[in-house]
Structure 1
Amino acid sequence: MSERRIQVGIVQHSNCANLADNFDKTCNEIRNAAAQGAQLIVLQELHRSLYFCQTEDTELFELAETIPGPSTDTLGALAKQLNVVIVASLFEKRATGLYHNTAVVLDSDGSIAGKYRKMHIPDDPGFYEKFYFTPGDMGFTPIQTSLGKLGVLVCWDQWFPEGARLMAMAGAELLIYPTAIGWDPRDDKAEQIRQRDAWIIAQRAHAVSNGVPVISVNRVGHESDPSNQSEGILFWGNSFVTGPQGEMLLHASETQEQTAVVEIDMARSESVRRIWPYLRDRRIDHYQDLCKIYRD
């Protein structure tokens, strides 16, 4: 079995109302990760701005940009300069009145290797994403890069085993989740811990049941609710990287900004899948009801 190792960098940070400051921070931390040896660098969800979906405001569509566009131009040039692959998360303006929550992958030559439009769109207090984002229409297709096939999904997608499975079935070698998730500060500590642990467990389970590593990158810090209808969101950090058995390879701070790099042994997926052949034993002849919303 040939050896293949990848150095993975994660960039976890807080955000402010100044877009230029946020983007400068992100780019500086990409350079920091590359200086630590990272070959693949994953950013958090919607890293250019505050998490604007706490309220419904038509003025906030001004945050959207095209792909290709200013951010992908800058990130592509940075990827080429540093010889790294970057997974970024942008508010995409596809057309007037049509917007997506989109992850875009910049390859090490500066080109756009591909993009993924978030498929599962939440609509909950403080997370009014259906107002802003049209559900993705590109399916669950891995993105081929110089480092391999990346199964890129986004945040709320991480709670659904179907997306992870379909990416793995299409040949994804890594599952990647740019994320923006946090607590309602009014929840008691026990409830906060349950939510955070469920989030980690769900994604580690994707690694286990598909035999592939998982990279999940969240933001940190408190962001106020502009409408003053709530106490805002306290983003819980805890960005992490697992191996193909769900083993923790890197686990970032709950409260602090952090850029970190960890090595992933890509050959382990082959070894693990030989021992745990989930794909072999799937009973697709009895899964038809998965195409129903619910079995009444």
Structure 2
Amino acid sequence: MDTEGKKINYKEEIQYLPISKIEPNRFNPRQRFSEEEEDELIASILEKGILNPLIVFKKKDSDEYVILDGERRFRASNKLNLKELPARILLNEPDKLESLSLMFHIHHVQKDWTQFSISITLIDIINEMGMNPKRLSKEDREQLIRKTSLSNYKINRYLIFQDYPQDVIERFLRSEIEDEQEPGADPDILLEMHRPIRQIKKLMPELLVKYPIAKIIDSCIKKKANNVIVNNKEFRFLNKSLSASDKGMINSERLKEEIITFIKNINTTPESIYLKTAKTYFQVESLSKITDNLTKELNNLNLANITSSERNRITKRLDKLQTLIKSRFEI
């Protein structure tokens, strides 16, 4: 195994360690485990034994070992009253950062950590490296990519989760860990709502006094659970409405009332808010760009190179457009 170019060495042989001398890693963010997963693992151990040895390191000046990989196997074996477990032992005790990084690589590659487990460990690694998660420089990000093997996109994704209040984080973490996920508690909701909530903080902070972020996210979860919102991208309509308000192009008080209705009424969708408040603004913006492009194309058109048939075709279409403009705008 290798982390940031540094090879991790093990003792040559797999050893059987007394289970009483093994302890969980206190830096493991996955503190709770699904009973269903544990029961399945117990059944597998009873049938086939421990197929994969634990990965551990020996604590300095102690005869005890700390788990880097295999806590579920350890817990299941404890329930079965097994006396010893197979383990691969690191030659050297890692420091906290190395321990976090090793666990991160092992569990991220095996895909047995949830999104919030990864997010929590990423924050621990950032803090341990002396970085500010709110102000990561280009060099900081390059170090993190080497340390975690995550792309810059995924680093941003997992950091967004940590922007939310602790009660929101714990709700989603709980849903990921429990046997049955809470209906509608899709972590992607937090990604899509991140920008709208930042806009609400900026444009209408007083709304968050009565309707805190946890309440807004609760409303989003219920809409998703009841199929009022099917695709998480629908939340982007909120951002479009708030962006129009930020530019002073729509009535901010009316938008605030619509957002309150969105929070209180399960059947109100982001798209319905957009249609009532911001659609016309974006239509005008679109028409303005189309008109500018049409004017540019007409000015650049080389009339000497078009046939009379082409000229007539263009003229007819422009005449139809002019008639429509007069009709729609009552000119």
TM-score range, shorter chain: under 0.3
- Greater RCO structure (CA 8 Å; 6+ sep): 1
More helix by share: 2
TM-score (norm 2): 0.23
TM-score (norm 1): 0.24
